[in-house]
């Protein structure tokens, strides 16, 4: 099983397949992506990488094309993640392949992706008759993007994070209900191709109040940072834990679509902090830019 990112098809000219081929999948060990990162020592978290694929097609038994939207849920406990271009090529390999029913497609994809990821993968297909169920949603909580602050740091800098001082924090040190902040200004870059990745980051936490202005400066500092979607979320989680020490934490980034795929990783300290975040985790829901 390949593990070196440099061996992938990212940034390379490739031929698009016309027949089903699971060998196109390129797994990358999570531990490799975390090397020399601020997420190298992963905490005891829960989470998943949620992918939505908008360019799913195959042929039915009579040769007529079928189209669908697909949702993929990769557990964070899986030792491997799937490199995005290889995932796209793999999905395209279904385009001229015949299947008798959508259930056969799900079964085949589940087998292939679970084997490649080394663990649990949950797949759902949404047929055109149910596309109206796919909702555009808005994040809950407070958007920090309109804060009138100056920013001059565009390289990921966790030291920008800070708490409100005790005099400013009128809500006190402990809040029974989770606070939620989000920003639409997340931008990072693919570490292989240097293409920009645009996203919205949402955090929910319990504990002392995180300074919203500091949080915004920190998120903007990713603007010239190179990192895979999953690792960016993991580093944001680890940075918040180190510099703000919340009692409970949820971090999710919903990235804009590229090549018919959007990637939405999330990490959380426990199931309890996820309460109220369900709409962000519901398959086929998306933000406006996705």
Residue 22's domain is classified under what CATH number?
A: 3.30.1130.10
Q: Do 114 and 204 belong to one domain?
A: no
Q: Catalytic residue at 197? A: yes
CA 189 to chain centre: 14
- How far apart are the C-alpha atoms of 87 and 53, rounded to whole Å? 10
Predicted TM-score (pTM) of the model is 0.92
Specify if 290 maps to a domain: no
Q: In this structure, are 201 and 266 located in the same domain?
A: yes
Are β-strands 179-189 and 196-206 bridged in parallel, bridged antiparallel, or unpaired? antiparallel
CA dihedral angle for residue 112, residue 30, residue 156, residue 270, rounded to 10 degrees:
90
Q: How many CB atoms lie within 10 A of CB 146?
A: 7
The pLDDT value recorded for residue 192 is 87
Residue 57 to residue 68: CA distance in whole angstroms = 6
What would the two tokens of residue 87 be? 């995932």
Evaluate whether residue 289 is within a structural domain. no
For CA atoms 214, 218, 220, 221, give the dihedral sign. Answer: positive
Structural domain for 153, as ranges: 142-281
Residue 83 assigned as binding residue: yes
Catalytic residue among 49, 112, 143, 197: 197
Indicate if 276 and 149 belong to the same structural domain.
Answer: yes
Domain count, the chain: 2
Q: Let me know: does 70 contact 56? Beta carbons within 8 Å.
A: yes
For residue 267, give both structure tokens. Answer: 């990490």
In a domain, 269, yes or no: yes
85 annotated as ligand-binding: yes
Closest by CA position to 223, among listed 150, 289, 146, 157: 157
Q: Is 84 annotated as a binding residue?
A: yes
Which position among 143, 190, 232, 244 bears the catalytic label? 190
Q: Within this chain, do residues 26 and 153 fall inside the same structural domain, yes or no?
A: no
Is the same domain home to 149 and 240? Answer: yes
18: left (phi over 0), alpha (psi -120 to 50) or beta: alpha
Does one domain contain both 59 and 150? no
Per residue of the chain (290 residues), give pLDDT as tens: 444 555 545 555 677 888 999 999 999 999 999 998 999 988 899 999 999 999 999 999 999 999 999 999 999 999 999 999 999 999 999 999 999 999 999 999 999 999 999 999 999 999 999 999 999 999 999 999 999 999 999 999 999 999 998 656 665 555 678 999 999 999 999 998 999 999 999 999 999 999 999 999 999 999 999 999 999 999 999 999 999 999 999 999 999 999 999 999 999 999 999 999 999 999 999 999 99
The verdict on whether residue 258 carries a ligand-binding annotation is yes
Within a domain: 50: yes
103 within some domain: yes
Integer angstrom CA distances of residue 166 from 32, 46, 99, 163, 207: 40, 31, 62, 9, 13
Any known ligand binding at 103? no
Claim to verify: residue 100 and residue 166 sit in the same structural domain: no
- State whether 272 and 184 are in the same domain: yes
Q: What is residue 141's predicted lDDT score, i.e. its pLDDT?
A: 96
Residues 184, 253 within the same domain: yes
Domain co-membership, 151 together with 104: no
**Within a 10 A sphere around the Cβ of 134, how many other Cβ atoms?**
16
Q: Is 190 assigned a catalytic role?
A: yes
The answer to whether 236 is annotated as binding is no
Same domain, 127 and 21: yes
């Amino acid at each position: 099983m390949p593990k070196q990112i440099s061996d992938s098809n990212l940034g390379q000219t490739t031929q698009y397949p016309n027949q089903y081929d699971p060998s196109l999948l390129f797994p990358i060990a999570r531990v490799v992506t975390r090397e020399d990162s601020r997420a190298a020592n992963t905490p005891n978290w829960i989470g998943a990488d949620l992918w939505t694929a908008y360019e799913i097609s195959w042929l039915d038994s009579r040769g007529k094309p079928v189209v669908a939207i697909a949702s993929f849920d990769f557990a964070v406990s899986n030792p491997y993640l799937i490199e995005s271009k290889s995932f796209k090529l793999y999905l395209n390999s279904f385009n001229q392949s015949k299947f008798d029913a959508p259930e056969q497609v799900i079964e085949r994809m589940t087998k292939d992706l679970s084997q490649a990821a080394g663990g649990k993968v949950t797949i759902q297909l949404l047929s055109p008759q149910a596309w109206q169920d796919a909702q555009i949603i808005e994040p809950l909580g407070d958007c920090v993007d309109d804060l009138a602050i100056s920013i001059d740091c565009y390289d990921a800098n966790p030291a920008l994070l800070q708490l409100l001082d005790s005099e400013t924090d009128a809500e006190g040190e402990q809040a029974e209900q989770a606070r939620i902040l989000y920003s639409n200004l997340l931008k990072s870059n693919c570490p292989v191709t240097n293409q920009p990745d645009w996203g919205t980051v949402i955090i929910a936490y319990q504990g002392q109040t995180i300074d919203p202005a500091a949080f915004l400066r920190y998120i903007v500092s990713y603007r010239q940072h190179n990192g895979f979607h999953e690792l960016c979320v993991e580093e944001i989680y680890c940075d918040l834990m180190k510099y703000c020490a919340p009692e409970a934490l949820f971090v999710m980034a919903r990235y804009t679509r590229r090549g018919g795929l959007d990637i939405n990783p999330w990490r959380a300290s426990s199931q309890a902090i996820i309460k109220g975040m369900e709409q962000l985790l519901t398959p086929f829901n998306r933000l406006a830019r996705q």
